[in-house]
Amino acid sequence: MHTRARKGYLMNDSQLRPALMEVGGMTCDDCAHHVTQALLAAGAGDVSVQWRTGKARFSWPVGVSESALSAAVAGAGYRPGQLQVVKAAEPLYRPGAGSDYDLVILGAGSAAFAAAIKATEAGFKVAMVEESTLGGTCVNVGCVPSKALLRAGELAWTAGHHPFAGISTTSGPVDLQKLVGQKDELVAMLRQVKYADLVSDYGFTLIPGHAHFTSPSAIIVDGKTIAAGTFLIATGASPSAPPIPGLSESGYLTSTSALDQTRVPQRLAVIGANAIGLELGQFFLHVGSQVTFIDVAERIAPFEEPEISAALQRVLVSQGAQVYTSASVLSVHRSGAEVVVELEANGEKAHVVAEEVLVATGRRPNTAKLSVDLAGVELDGRGAVVVDSELRTTNPRVFAAGDVTGAPQFVYVSAYEGALAVDNSLLGLGRPVDLSGLPRVTFTMPQVASAGLSEAEARLGGHEVQVSILPLRAVPRALVNHDTSGLVKLVAESGTGRLLGASMLAEGAGDVIQAVVIAIRHGITVGELAGTFHPYLTMAEALKLASQTFSRDVSKLSCCAA
C-alpha cells in the first residue's frame, strides 16, 4: 500500500530539496514499488510513494534535473505530473531517517483522521494509534448521536405543541429504547463509512492499543516501541464532574451515558446550562421529563449574548423547565429511587428532587496516561497540551490538535487543526491557527448560533461598536411559522460598519450563521450585507433586516424593501 526507499548521498542538506510529484496510472503496491525504483535510479533519495493518492515524495538533489526524474517515471510506464518543491520546516526532517513512520498520531477522532488523510495524500508514511473505538467523540458519543436524538425530541414536542389552527396532532409516550437503538445503528454506519473504511482507502496504518511516550522521539504500544519523525497528540477530551459532596456516591449521568438511557426519567436535574446541558436537558424535556437546569453562572448559555440567554430561558420555562442561575450545588444525596440536589441560588437555599442527575459542567483533556513528561511536552493546569500558534508543543517534534489542547470543542475546529498540524509539522508551512469568525451552534429548539465577537468582547478588544437587535416578530419567516420567540443581534464597528459578530436564536440559526462567518472573514460591512440579496420567507432574511436596522426603521418597510 505504501512503498518507501532511501539512497545515500555524500552531500549536505543545502543540496537536497524536498519535492512532491503527481504520478498517474498507479493501481497497486507493485506500481508504487516500480515508481520508487525508477526515481531512485534517476538520483532521487528518501523516496516515499502512495499509489492510492498518486503522489511520490522524495529528496531532490541539486544536480538531478526535473526532466530526468519525469523521464524515469514515464519509462516505468506511469504518467509523471508537475514536480513541486515543498517548503521545509526548520530544522528539516527527512522522511525515514531512523524512524518507523514519518508521522504517528495518538488518537482516532476528527483531528487524527484529518491529519492522517492530509499526510498520506502528501506522500508520508503515517500510523494512527487508538486503544478504544475509532471516530472519537463526534461520531460515537457527541455530535451524531446527540443530534439524532434531539431531532426526535423536537418532533415529539412539536406533535403535541404546534401553533397551527385546524390541525390536530398528539404526542404519545416515547419508546426511548427503540429510539436509542436507531441512533446506535446510525452511529455504527457512519463510524464504518467515515472512519474505518478510510484507513484502507488512504493506506495509513492503524495500530490498536494504548500508546504512551518513552522519549522525545518514541512511544510504546502494548510493549512495542515505535519511533517517528513527528508525533501528533489528538486524544480528545472526556466529560468531567466538579467535586460536589455526595455526587459520585449518588451516581450521575454524563453527556456520554445520557445518550444510552433507555427509559425517560420522570424528573431530571441538569447541573450545567451551557450547550451540552441545554441540548440534552431540553431533549429529555421534550420526551416527557420534568427538567430543572442549575448553573453557577448568572445566566444560562453564559458565553452567548445576554439577550440570547434571556430569550432562551423564556422558551425553556414556557416548555415547563425550571431554571436556577447563580447557583452553587452544596451536595447531592440519594434516597431510594430519588436523588436530592441541595443548592443555594441568589442567597437562598433550595433543593431539587429528581430520578437522575445529568452533569454537564465541562470536559477534561485525555492526557493523564500519555507520559508526556518523558517527551518533554508541557501541560497546563487542566491537563491540556500547551501549544504555540502553529500547534507545536514544547517538544518541536510533537504537535497537538483538537480538544486535547483546550481549543474550542467543535469537530470542525479539531479537523481544521489536525490538517494544520500536518501543514506545519511535515510540510513546514508555518501557518498559525486562525479562528476568526468561528461559528458555534447550540442545537436547542430554537437553535442558538453565533460567530465572531460578542458586544462585550468587541468593547473589551478596544472596538467602538454599534449594535442592532432585531426581534423575530419583525421577520416574515417567523411570522408564518407562528413562532417569534427569538432574535438576531449584530455587532458592527463604528465608522466603518464592518461586521464584527452576530448571534441568533431562531429555527435554522445554525444554517444562517454561515453567511456571517463569510462576512466576518472577508470584512463585509452591515451596509453591504443589507444590500445583498436574501431570499424572502427564509430565516436568512433576518440578517438583511438586522443589518438595515442600523440605518432605518424596518417596521416601516414593505416586504423585501431594499
Dig out the grid coordinates for 36 from the structure. Answer: 520508487
What phi and psi values does residue 289 have, to the nearest 5 degrees? -85, 150
189 is annotated as an active-site residue: no
Q: What is the pLDDT of residues 270-306, one digit of tens each?
A: 999 999 999 999 999 999 999 999 999 999 999 999 9
Q: Are 418 and 117 in contact (CB under 8 A)?
A: no
The class (CATH top level) of 247-360 is: alpha beta
In this prediction, residue 12 carries a pLDDT of 41
Q: Tell me which residue of 345, 370, 334 sits closest to 273, measured CA to CA.
A: 345
What is the β-pairing status of strands 439-442 and 447-452?
antiparallel
Q: Are 105 and 370 in contact (CB under 8 A)?
A: no
28 is annotated as an active-site residue: yes
Q: Are 140 and 107 in contact (CB under 8 A)?
A: no
Q: What is the pLDDT of residues 230-263, one digit of tens each?
A: 999 999 999 999 999 999 999 999 999 999 999 9
Q: Which residue in the list 1, 9, 143, 412 is annotated as catalytic?
A: 143
Q: What architecture (CATH level 2) is domain 2-86?
A: 2-Layer Sandwich (3.30)
The rounded distance, in Å, linking the Cα atoms of 169 and 44 is 72
What is the β-pairing status of strands 126-130 and 205-208?
parallel
Look up the CATH superfamily of 439-556. FAD/NAD-linked reductase, C-terminal dimerisation domain (3.30.390.30)
Q: Is 198 helix (H, G, I), strand (E, B) or coil?
A: helix
Examine domains 104-150+177-238+364-425 and 247-360 and report if their fold is the same. yes
Distances from the Cα of 56 to the Cα of 24, 346, 392, angstroms: 10, 65, 26
560 is annotated as an active-site residue: yes
Neighbouring-strand partners of residue 329: 343
Q: Tell me which residue of 547, 500, 554, 543 sits closest to 527, measured CA to CA.
A: 547
Name the stretches of the chain with pLDDT < 50. 1-14, 88-92, 94
HSE (CB half, 13 Å, CA atoms) of 444? Answer: 31
Which stretches of 272-367 are assigned E, i.e. beta strand? 290-294, 322-324, 327-335, 338-345, 348-354, 356-359, 363-365
- With b meaning 16 or more CB within 10 Å and e meaning fewer, what string describes 330-355? eebeeeeeebbbbbebeeeebebebb
HSE (CB half, 13 Å, CA atoms) of 190? Answer: 20
Q: Tell me which residue of 276, 274, 295, 269 sits closest to 137, measured CA to CA.
A: 276
The rounded distance, in Å, linking the Cα atoms of 440 and 454 is 12
pTM greater than the 0.75 cutoff? yes
Distances from the Cα of 19 to the Cα of 33, 52, 71, 91, angstroms: 18, 18, 16, 16
Q: Which residue in the list 21, 78, 93, 252 is annotated as catalytic?
A: 78
In this prediction, residue 15 carries a pLDDT of 63
In this prediction, residue 305 carries a pLDDT of 98
Q: Is 207 helix (H, G, I), strand (E, B) or coil?
A: strand
Q: Tell me which residue of 126, 104, 124 sits closest to 230, measured CA to CA.
A: 104
26 is annotated as an active-site residue: yes
Q: Which residue in the list 11, 189, 536, 560 is annotated as catalytic?
A: 560
Assigned CATH topology for domain 104-150+177-238+364-425: FAD/NAD(P)-binding domain (3.50.50)
Phi-psi region of 279 (alpha: psi -120 to 50; beta: other; left: phi over 0): alpha
78 is annotated as an active-site residue: yes
Neighbouring-strand partners of residue 487: 471, 505
Distances from the Cα of 69 to the Cα of 11, 34, 39, angstroms: 19, 13, 6
Q: For the chain, give every domain's residue range.
A: 2-86, 104-150+177-238+364-425, 247-360, 439-556
In this prediction, residue 11 carries a pLDDT of 37
143 is annotated as an active-site residue: yes
Element (H, E) at 452: strand 447-452
Alpha helices, DSSP H, located in 303-409: 306-318
In this prediction, residue 97 carries a pLDDT of 58
Q: Are 505 and 486 in contact (CB under 8 A)?
A: yes
The rounded distance, in Å, linking the Cα atoms of 243 and 264 is 27
Q: Tell me which residue of 407, 381, 89, 363 sits closest to 233, measured CA to CA.
A: 407
* DSSP string across 439-478: EEEE-SSSEEEEEE--HHHHHHTT--EEEEEEEGGG-HHH
Q: Which residue in the list 21, 128, 138, 445 is annotated as catalytic?
A: 138
Which residue do the cell numbers 461586521 mark? 499
What is the β-pairing status of strands 79-85 and 218-221?
unpaired
Dig out the grid coordinates for 304 from the structure. Answer: 452567548
Q: Which residue in the list 26, 128, 445, 539 is annotated as catalytic?
A: 26
3-state helix, strand, coil in the chain (%, to 5): 35, 30, 40
Q: Which residue in the list 31, 445, 504, 539 is annotated as catalytic?
A: 31
The rounded distance, in Å, linking the Cα atoms of 18 and 147 is 44
